[in-house]
Chains A and B, each alone.
Chain A
């Protein structure tokens, strides 16, 4: 009797059901309300240059461009301060009552708090207020000398600080 041997090879093909796993990551971004003030000499030099000064002659300095950048949408104020002595390496005394400043209105509607020209103060002094909606703005500060009182020849240096705070 003829025998047939059949080998069956069973192939098991397993098809797995595809799994899915979803994770949700919650992202939170905190953007801090910020208002900053930046100042640049219009000629891009490191210092705000006032001069050459000739004794007894009124002198106008280069404009200092001031920008206020803000995302707070709150009205703000800009303050100005002259810190320390205005002095020279040669020992000359600078008559600080000679130093004046003027401030332009802002391009975005902010307004100058300096009427005409005022003496530059050693104390923190309000010089500019934003518009009602606190938009970013740009304005200029211009320093000048009255020319009433001569002072010794030389180069004098003083430190100017600007800061901004919400109104």
Chain B
């Protein structure tokens, strides 16, 4: 008899941190908020893409500040591929896609990602800021092909 195993292409990304609050220590240009790391658990079994596997985008540009993200780490669980920083250090996000993580093959076909990625976020004042609250949304996309 022939045993046939039909494995579907699948991807999933979860995080516990759906909402982040930042506070500027100062209102002056160049001041920064605290840096908040966020863990993302990723599982994908058909990740053919090499570059920009994780992409960030904001829904709006915040006036008077840059909202930034940095790829901190990726811890592989059982995958045969890993993620590395697409760019060094903090990257200013905008309303267009910014690649934050690329893929590296560890073994085999390198299409399996199963691990935890850490991204850090912060904001930097680009001008003196008036007191008040600013709200924006960041979309994190996990792209397989």
List residues of chain A with CB under 8 Å of any chain B CB: 39, 41, 46-56, 64, 82, 86, 90-94, 99, 143, 145, 148-160, 162
Please determine whether A53 and B108 come into contact, CB atoms closer than 8 angstroms: no
CB distance from A83 to the nearest CB of B (A): 11
* A52-B8, A150-B78 given; A159·B109 CB < 8 A: no
The residue from A143, A148, A151 contacting B3, defined by CB atoms under 8 A apart: A143
Please determine whether B108 and A92 come into contact, CB atoms closer than 8 angstroms: yes
Please determine whether B7 and A149 come into contact, CB atoms closer than 8 angstroms: no
Please determine whether A64 and B8 come into contact, CB atoms closer than 8 angstroms: no
Residue B80 is within 8 A (CB to CB) of chain A in the complex: yes
Return chain B residues, CB-CB under 8 Å to A48.
1-4
Please determine whether A49 and B4 come into contact, CB atoms closer than 8 angstroms: yes
Residue pairs across A and B with Cβ atoms less than 8 A apart, 10 shown, are A47-B3, A48-B1, A55-B7, A82-B3, A91-B108, A143-B3, A154-B7, A156-B6, A157-B3, A159-B3
Please determine whether A153 and B7 come into contact, CB atoms closer than 8 angstroms: yes
Closest to B79 in A: A150
Cα A56 to Cα B43 in complex, Å, equals: 8
Return chain A residues, CB-CB under 8 Å to B9.
153
List residues of chain B with CB under 8 Å of any chain A CB: 1-10, 12, 43-46, 78-80, 108-109, 111-112, 114
Return chain A residues, CB-CB under 8 Å to B5.
50-51, 53, 86, 94, 99, 145, 155-158
CB distance from B104 to the nearest CB of A (A): 16
Return chain B residues, CB-CB under 8 Å to A90.
109
Cα A67 to Cα B134 in complex, Å, equals: 71
Return chain B residues, CB-CB under 8 Å to A93.
80, 108-109
Cα A86 to Cα B9 in complex, Å, equals: 18
Please determine whether B3 and A53 come into contact, CB atoms closer than 8 angstroms: no
* A150-B78, A150-B114 given; A52·B6 CB < 8 A: yes
CB distance from B13 to the nearest CB of A (A): 13
Cα A149 to Cα B78 in complex, Å, equals: 6
For B5, B80, B114, the residue with the greatest tally of chain A CB atoms inside 10 Å of its CB is B5
CB distance from A96 to the nearest CB of B (A): 11
Task: Given contact pairs A53-B8, A157-B2, enumerate 20 new A-B contacts (beta carbons under 8 Å).
Answer: A39-B1, A49-B4, A52-B6, A52-B8, A55-B45, A56-B43, A90-B109, A92-B7, A150-B78, A152-B7, A152-B45, A152-B109, A152-B111, A152-B112, A153-B45, A153-B46, A155-B6, A156-B5, A157-B3, A162-B1
The residue from B1, B45, B79, B80 contacting A64, defined by CB atoms under 8 A apart: B1
